[in-house]
Structure 1
Amino acid sequence: MPRFQRKGVSKILFATAIADPGYLPTTAELTSATDYSRQIAAVDGFSIENQMIETPDLASTFVSKIGGDDTAADSSITFYEDDTLDDIETDLAKGTTGFIIICRKGKTPGAAGMDVFPVTVSSNSAAITLDNEAAKITVAFAITDRPLLNATVPAGT
């Protein structure tokens, strides 16, 4: 099984609109989405978690579990701050709605592993530090509906 490193392969984009109710973007929607991959320092969350339900019974001291409700993990992206442009601050301002599109195996047409998360920006905050590192901004996202997971990048992208 060939392995790969996400850096240099995976792409993260933001689309303001996707017409399909199942969140599968068209080629045009994917092409018009903003590719933030070069500005990203860290990604957190963007996954589904299950809230397990304990089901103890009188016949055993073992507490079994069943699957419960799904929920989205707290999700954020940390961007490098630009010293002249403020596209992260304006394009991803608090309250902005849209879609985070993660092409885990690249944006090549026909590639598997495309996840689409409907989101609202819940905060956009500069990280102020005196450490010897690049200036960063962290944008937190509320995932507003069940995402489309492991789709295929549409042809013609």
Structure 2
Amino acid sequence: MSTPIPASTRYYRRGVTKVLWVPTIANKQTPSRAELAAGTSLEAETGAMDGWQTTSETVPTPALGSRFTSVVGGEITADDSSLTFWASKNGEDVRTLLVREASGFVVWMDEGDVPTQTMDVYPVTVTSQAKVREMDNAAQIMCQFAITSEPAENVTIPALTGP
């Protein structure tokens, strides 16, 4: 009999997931605690998110000697991604932080900022700050991002520092 996959400890994302804007990370595969601490926590003002996942294409590899066409892994891509924030009536909100053409990293700690758990590090450039204008909803700002190189996925969250 085969071994079953371990049972997951399921969770509700809101109140758990942390998302950071980090201006500088020397090595996206091994961000330091100091680099993460220099970032800005975004989850308290995040009202929606879209994208933030990679996909892999396949490439057909036909052979004359077979009618079956096998495939191999091909391009890895990431769709355009966005974060939508609550707008402030006085204008002091995400617009002062995530300005168009700012480059940095969006870091996702899906299970929270827990050392030894994993995070995903997305190198990005802010491409727009769109004001979401709707009649019956609270005002929001949607920041769109270009993912500029392959994200570092499932990177270990570093230990906390200090007392």
TM over 0.5: yes
Provide the rounded CA distance (Å) in 2 between the counterparts of 1:84 and 1:23: 38
User: Of the candidates 138, 153, 156, which is equivalent to residue 149 of structure 1?
Assistant: 153
How many residues in Structure 1 have an aligned counterpart in Structure 2?
A: 153
Give the number of the structure whose alpha-carbon radius of gyration is greater: 2
Q: Does the 8 Å contact 2:49/2:84 carry over to 1?
A: yes
Structure 1 residue 57, shift from structure 2 partner = 4.7
Alignment-derived partner of residue 87 in structure 2 = 81
Gaps of 5+ in 2: 1-6
Residues in 2 aligned to 1:56 and 1:42: alpha-carbon distance in whole angstroms: 43
- The aligned counterpart of 1:9 is 16
- TM-score relative to the length of structure 2: 0.85
- 1:134 corresponding residue in structure 2: 138
Task: Measure how far apart 1:23 and its partner are.
Answer: 4.2
The SS at the match of 2:130 is strand
Q: What is the TM-score when the length of structure 1 is the normalising length?
A: 0.88
Q: Does 1:18 align with 2:25?
A: yes
Aligned-residue offset at 1:143: 0.8
**How far is the alpha carbon of 1:24 from its aligned partner?**
2.3
Structure 1 outlier segments of 4+, above 4 Å: none
Identity %: 38
* Counterpart code for 1:142: A
36, 49, 55: which one pairs with 1:30? 36
Structure 1 position 55 matched with structure 2 position 61: yes
Aligned to 1:99: 105
